[in-house]
Amino acid sequence: MEESKHKKREIIHYSHPKEHDEFYELTPEGKANLPESIQQFLNPHHKPRVRITHNKDDNSLKARIIKSRIADIEIYNPACDFDYRISISIESPWSGPEQWLVPMQANGGERNKDRMSYRHLAYQVDLTQVSYSTKRDLEHELEVEISVEQIRKELNALQSGQPSRYEDLVRGLLDNVRVLCRQGTIKRR
């Protein structure tokens, strides 16, 4: 009975995948055959790349994705120990032939990821430990992502003149990033 008086809390979803990525650039023929949905957003400063991801536990294929970064905003954050970057990218499943792929040379074109992922409402926070075959040191990444499905839903509502939470979703993303930056900053006397 008490439960019906209060709004039900949203569950935080957790996963801990361990994955191996291989990265590829495209041959000229591969670039020419990209779908229009990706070609229209190609950025001359960021080449599209294909990522093939396998589950480390059983080596099963998890994803074949083509990703192209559209734009970045670099945020200088003098009050905190961390700056941050907001990136907008387009991703799509990759089903092209192998002959259109050229292995990337940077970092050996491969990486291992040990990721803890938390999803709540329209946001996902990923804490990832990354290792490369060509480096001894581990890298650590913190990513905050907004749900593409939620953004599309709210943009469609906005475009059709319906009530929309688009600005609230974007504000929530920025608030999450600012809170994480503040929490990670060492207090100085």
pLDDT by position in tens, the chain (length 189): 455 566 788 899 999 999 999 999 999 999 888 888 788 888 788 888 999 999 999 999 999 999 989 889 999 988 888 899 999 998 889 999 999 999 987 656 789 999 999 999 999 999 999 998 777 889 999 999 999 999 999 999 999 999 999 999 999 999 999 999 888 877 654
| Nearest Cα to Cα of residue 74 among 66, 82, 62, 63 | 82
Can you read off the two tokens belonging to residue 186? 């060492």
Cα 36 to Cα 156: distance, rounded to the nearest angstrom: 21
Q: Do residues 102 and 27 lie in contact, with contact meaning Cβ atoms separated by under 8 Å?
A: yes
The pLDDT of residue 189 is 44
Candidate CATH numbers 3.20.100.10, 3.40.640.10, 3.30.390.10, 3.90.1150.10; the one for domain 11-184: 3.20.100.10
Q: Where are the beta strands (DSSP E) in the chain?
A: 13-15, 18-26, 49-55, 61-75, 84-93, 101-103, 110-120, 123-132, 139-146
